[in-house]
Structure 1
Amino acid sequence: MKSKQSFINLIFVLMAGLLWNPCSAQKKYEREFSIKTDAVPQTAADFVNSVFTKSKIHWYREESLTGNSIEAKLKHSKKRYSIEFDESGNIQDVEIVSSIDAMEGGSRATLADNLRKEFSHYKIVKTQLHWNGPVAALKKSLLENMAAKGVQTRYELVLKGTRDKLESYFEVLAEENGAIVSIHQIVQRNTDNLIY
């Protein structure tokens, strides 16, 4: 009888996880500290230097609720890049400052509808292309200036908005089709780096 109850409890927990709404706002805490090149994992430095040969690279250590990471920020061919690595130097993702207008028209309209459902008022402060995938595919994407096969493209927005009567900055991650993946309230972030 006890094992049957345990099984029922397990099913309940699993179902609750499946029914969880990814749009429910969680808090996102981040702090960034500038670090010197010699504090950067060699793997991360090698990757960035192999793609951006003549760009000035700024390195940061980022602390968040989910762990710590190393980030390279730079400007290349009039575009701003942010490349994130774990503490061992393994690449996690690439972000490129973009414009919401870069999103296909129908997807942009879908995203706008979805944002209106989540926020009573909002203003987009920053838009980034968010690339995720294998190392070789990310490197090819950066060299060819377009997402290669195997790279997932999403849009990451930083917006100032009002949600449940709370005005704050939020980070919204959206699919290419305009579907919202997640919404996080930004608790603390260096204002200089927010717009970078």
Structure 2
Amino acid sequence: MNKIILLISICILFSCDSSTEVRKYWNNGELKLIGREKDGKRIGKWIKYTANNDTMEIQYYEDGVLVTLDEYAHVGDSATKATLTQRSNFLNSNLHGTHLLFHPNGQIDRKGQFLNGQKVDTFFHYRNNGFMHQFTVYVDDSVTTQYQYWPNGELFMRAENFMNGLHYFYDSLGTTEFVVRITSDEQSYSMDTLEINTR
């Protein structure tokens, strides 16, 4: 009796999964693409490979719609394994949510948020040792505020009104301040040094 119940359960389980596996191959016979479709739409995890059998992309789908994309590439020695270079999230085919870029050593290079294809809030840019290189604040996909840092961590530049306002530049020791006014529009761009201060 238990065996019959188990057999029926297995049959129901497999009959409920109407998805089919999709495989495509390179001319050299290596696997190029693998994933599953249901009712003609991609679902779940899809993997794209190079002709040398290295991972090129990992895609995640919900009901035929791409929601997450991981991209891989060789950096430096082509004999080494391809590493993750970028992770993107999507909504209605637009970048949406957290967006990440990576250094070859796996450290985060850049991190920020998209809302329906537009940059919003703060984007962070890091050096490959994890130290901050720059952060930029976006409003309606436009830069409003930006801070940049020297490799030693000292402040290099700060601007509260990036496109039209004062920019403050500093030497790597933080002892000298250069005040510059930036003025820009669609046709022109100008930069005027206003003062130099020594701390």
TM-score higher than 0.5 here?
Answer: no
The structure in which a higher percent of residues are strand is 2
Larger radius of gyration: 2
**TM class, shorter-length:** under 0.3
The structure in which a higher percent of residues are helix is 1
Higher relative contact order (CA 8 A, sep 6+): 1
